[in-house]
Structure 1
Amino acid sequence: MPIVAEPEPTLLFTVRTETLPSHKGQISFPGGSIDPSDPTSEAAALREAEEELGLGPSAVRILGELDTVLTHVSGYIVSPFVGWIDKHPSLAPNPTEVARVLLVPLAQLTDQIRAEPGFSHGGRTYPTEAWIWRGSVIWGVTAHLLRLFFEVLAEAGLAEAPAAPSVPWPLSS
C-alpha cells in the first residue's frame, strides 16, 4: 500500500489490464507472488512495485505490515505492507500489467465506504464492501485492505475508522 507524500498523503493504486489472467480491470495495490529469489515477503512487495510501476525500492520506506489476508475468489494469501514515498515518484507503469495509476488522497476515502448487498463484476455478484472514488469502484480484498489500514490509523488516533460493513470478512461462499 504505497502512500505518496503529496501536498496531502495520497494512496497509489493500479488498475489492472484486461489481459491479465486474474482480477482483470480491477483496482489494486501493486504486488504479486513471492519468487524463490525473494528473501522475504517485504522484498517481494518491493520487487513487484518496481516491476509494475518502475518504482525503485530505495524510493519506498516500509512503515509496517498489516494482517495477512486470504482472497475469497482466487485463494491468494496477501501479506500487505504499507510504504511511504517522500516525493511524487517518477513512474513507468508496465503496460502488460497496469492499465493506469490512480492517486487518491487519504482524506477523500475516509467517508467513502459502503457495503454493497451484491456488487456485480464479470457476470458474478459478490457480497462485499466497496469504496467509490470519482466513479471508480475499489472492492474485494483491496477494499478490505483499506479498511484494515484505516482501523490501524484510528487506533493510533490519526483517522476515524470507517463504519463497520454489513458483510463479514472473509466472505463466505
Structure 2
Amino acid sequence: MSDFIQKLKNRLDSPLRPAEKAHTLMESSARTKEFSFQYKERKKTRVAAVLMLLYPYQDEDGNQKYDWKMPLVLRPPYEGVHNHGGQIGLPGGGREEQDENLMMTAIRETQEEIGVIVPKTNIIGSLSDLYIPPSDSMVTPFVGFMNEKPSFIPDPKEVDRIIEAPLSFLQNPNLRMQKKVKLANDVVLDVPYFAVNDDSVWGATAMMLSEFLHLIEEID
C-alpha cells in the first residue's frame, strides 16, 4: 500500500466532518431553496453505492508513478426526465438482495459495469451518504484502490465510455467551472462542474468528489 493510500485510509478511518460545506461548493441550482423545480418522489427511497477507484499511472516510459487516476463512466442516453442517462458518474448502482452490505454493492456494480474485480481488502473507507432526489436514491460513496491500472471491460448497456480522470485535474481550482444545463423537461440549471479534458462532471458525482478532495487536502 502506497504512502498516499495509507494516509487516505487513516483519514477515512477517522470521523468525517459534516459534508454539507464541501457538497454545497458543487451543487446545482436544483438543490437551492430559490429554485422552484419539484422532483417526483417514489414510494421507497432506493439504497445505492458507488466506488471511487484510485490507481496509479505512469509516465511515457512506464517507470515513474506520478499521479493517480479514477474511472468515471458516461451513461448511455435513455428516456425519462428524472434519470442520469447521458451524464457522467461513478461506477455503482442499487443494492441487491445478494449484497452482504453496501460495500459489496459497490464492488459488484464496479465489476458489472467496467469489468474490474476489486478485492474487499482494497476498499479503504467510505464518504458521507448523499441523497439524490431525481432518482430518490440514498448513495454511499466508497473509496478503493488498485496497485496498477486495471483492464477495463465496460458493459455497453451501462457505459458509453470510460473517462480516466487524473486526480491532479480534479484538484486544480482552475478546472472548476460553471455553466447552464438544460434538462429533458426544458428546465435550465446553473451547474458548477469539474472540467476533465472535454468532459463535464457535475451533479451528485461532483458533490461526492468535492468531499473527497477536501479530505485529500487534509492529509497533504
Q: Which residue matches 2:31?
A: none
Structure 1 Cα separation of the partners of residues 162 and 196 of structure 2: 13
**1:13 pairs with 59, 65, 72, which one?**
72
Per-residue deviation, residues 136-161 of structure 1 (Å, max 9, x unmatched): 110000110110100111122x2xxx
Kindly indicate whether residue 145 of structure 2 is the aligned counterpart of residue 84 of structure 1.
yes
Structure 1 Cα separation of the partners of residues 198 and 152 of structure 2: 23
**2:196 pairs with 124, 130, 133, which one?**
133
**TM-superposed deviation, 1:61:** 1.1
- State the aligned residue count: 156
1:80 match: secondary structure? strand
Kindly indicate whether residue 167 of structure 2 is the aligned counterpart of residue 106 of structure 1.
yes
**TM-superposed deviation, 1:59:** 8.6
2:160 match: secondary structure? strand
Q: Which residue matches 2:62?
A: none
Greater C-alpha radius of gyration: 2
Higher relative contact order (CA 8 A, sep 6+): 2
Kindly indicate whether residue 170 of structure 2 is the aligned counterpart of residue 119 of structure 1.
no
- Listed as ranges, the gaps of 5+ residues in structure 1 are 159-173
Q: Which amino acid aligns with 2:57?
A: E
Q: Is the 8 A contact 1:60 1:84 kept in 2?
A: no
Q: Is the 8 A contact 2:73 2:88 kept in 1?
A: yes
Per-residue deviation, residues 80-128 of structure 1 (Å, max 9, x unmatched): 0011111111111000000010001111121222344x43343332233
Structure 2 Cα separation of the partners of residues 105 and 57 of structure 1: 19
Q: Is the 8 A contact 1:20 1:97 kept in 2?
A: no
Q: Structure 1 residues 143-152 or 67-76, which shifts more? A: 67-76
Structure 2 Cα separation of the partners of residues 102 and 121 of structure 1: 22
Per-residue deviation, residues 5-55 of structure 1 (Å, max 9, x unmatched): 112201110111113762111110000000011011000000000010111
Provide the aligned C-alpha RMSD in A.
1.9
Q: Is the 8 A contact 1:59 1:86 kept in 2?
A: no
Q: Which residue matches 1:53?
A: 114
TM-score norm. by structure 1 comes to: 0.83
Kindly indicate whether residue 214 of structure 2 is the aligned counterpart of residue 148 of structure 1.
no
**TM-superposed deviation, 1:4:** 1.6
2:92 match: secondary structure? coil
- Listed as ranges, the gaps of 5+ residues in structure 2 are 1-51, 59-66
Q: Is the 8 A contact 2:118 2:146 kept in 1?
A: no
Structure with bigger helix share is 2
**TM-superposed deviation, 1:74:** 2.2
Structure 2 Cα separation of the partners of residues 85 and 121 of structure 1: 36
